[in-house]
Amino acid sequence: MMKVIFFCLYVSLCIHCSKGNLNIPKKVAVSAVIAFGDSVLDQGNNNYFTSVIKANFPPCGRDFSGGIPTGRFCNGKTLADVFAARFGVKEYLPAYLDPHIQDKDLQTGVSFASGGSGYDPLTPIITSSIPLSVQLGFFKQYIGRLKKNIGEEAANATITNSMFLVSSSSNDFLSNYFTVSTRRLHYDVPAYVNMLVDLAVTFVQEIQKLGARKIAVLGAPPLGCTPIGRTIGAGVQRSCVDKFNKAAELFNNMLKQQLQLLSTSLPQSRVAFIDLYTPFINIVKNPQQYGLEVTERGCCGSGTIEYSFLCNKLIPSCFNDSKFLYWDSIHLTEIGYSIYADHVLPDLVKNLF
């Protein structure tokens, strides 16, 4: 009953909030935000890893504090930063591999995510990114450091009261399955989706065993409507690509179902599926409703293919990225992440707290 009351309070507060600045009820307490997965949540870990997929150079970060390119695949804050700020944890979520990270930063959370990673272990090999298995190892290391810094009891309490974010799968489809033929030789789309879902559920179980109690798993966006999806799948017409979107929808439906089943078997934990697909479709179809003008291409360069090293200071970028949903051909602008966060926060609060 109390959870229903808190959620209703949240909705009531949201009605009176300005767009892009929704607040979380004070009764919802989060001690830290901890992130795993791909570039949506990569706060700069790829800076310290041998990978060509990096974003630590202009124009990335041009709207970040000080205009500094931090390794975030964005013009400013990523979704991890937006969530951390919305829950009142801190303004910026740091990358765990940042050598300048302070002990006090660990107490309010970090990101282990790596641009290019995925659930399929073949994906990080293709993209030269940090596999989820290695990210899990970093998390174990992080727990050890936290216990050393604040003691075992306080560390366990921090982990228990943290919100865990997991974002993967996009690279499994766009960088792996639909681009490299290896998996297609052995799996049709339903079989591949089934494999990814099994791997996702296993990963959630692994972090749950290590103490995670509030876990939000992001689904796949409409991959066929991303600028790069339109470019590689639709040619000059650049319409949304149906086969990419259908694969994402199938993945989301199966993942949501399996996470619901998993949640019933983990009574001490809350596991929530977070829908990326529906909000994105709505934003793409109704950009003016959100103050946007461009959704079919990114701000960087031509906006059709550029990301990572192709998005650089030698390639002109748009003047006003606040009118663009996408920063580059894959990743959202800061305003795009903010709009998306406002879409999903009510469900996130309802399902995790």
pLDDT (tens digit, 9 = 90+) per residue, 248-300? 999 999 999 999 999 999 878 999 999 999 999 999 999 999 999 999 999 99
Within-domain flag for 296: no
Q: Is the pLDDT of residue 18 over 60?
A: no
Within-domain flag for 194: yes
Within-domain flag for 23: no
Considering its fold, how many domains does the chain have in total?
1
Q: Is the pLDDT of residue 22 over 60?
A: no
**Burial, 20: exposed, middle or buried (Cβ in 10 Å; 0-12, 13-18, 19+)?**
middle
Q: Which of 5-19, 143-157, 307-321 is least confident?
A: 5-19
Average pLDDT, the chain: 91
Q: Which residue has the higher pLDDT, 189 or 17?
A: 189
Within-domain flag for 177: yes
Can you tell me whether residue 162 is helix, strand or coil? strand
C-alpha distances in Å from residue 336, one per residue of 32, 82, 252, 279, 339: 23, 11, 21, 11, 5
Q: Is the pLDDT of residue 51 over 60?
A: yes
Whole-number pLDDT of residue 164 = 98
Within-domain flag for 79: yes
Q: Is the pLDDT of residue 2 over 70?
A: no
The CATH number of whichever domain residue 159 belongs to comes to: 3.40.50
Q: Shortest CA distance to 272 belongs to which of 353, 210, 337? A: 353
Within-domain flag for 200: yes
Percentage of the chain surpassing pLDDT 70? 92
Can you tell me whether residue 318 is helix, strand or coil? coil
pLDDT in tens, 169-201: 999 999 999 999 999 999 999 999 999 999 999
Whether the CB-CB separation of 101 and 16 falls below 8 Å is answered with: no
* Residue span of the structural domain in which 134 resides: 30-226+233-279+344-352
Whether the CB-CB separation of 107 and 94 falls below 8 Å is answered with: no
Within-domain flag for 305: no
Whether the CB-CB separation of 203 and 166 falls below 8 Å is answered with: yes
Whole-number pLDDT of residue 267 = 79
pLDDT in tens, 70-92: 999 999 999 999 999 999 999 99
Within-domain flag for 19: no
Put the strands of the sheet holding 214-218 in their side by side order.
32-37, 162-167, 214-218, 270-274
Whole-number pLDDT of residue 237 = 82
- Positions annotated as catalytic residues are 39, 328, 331
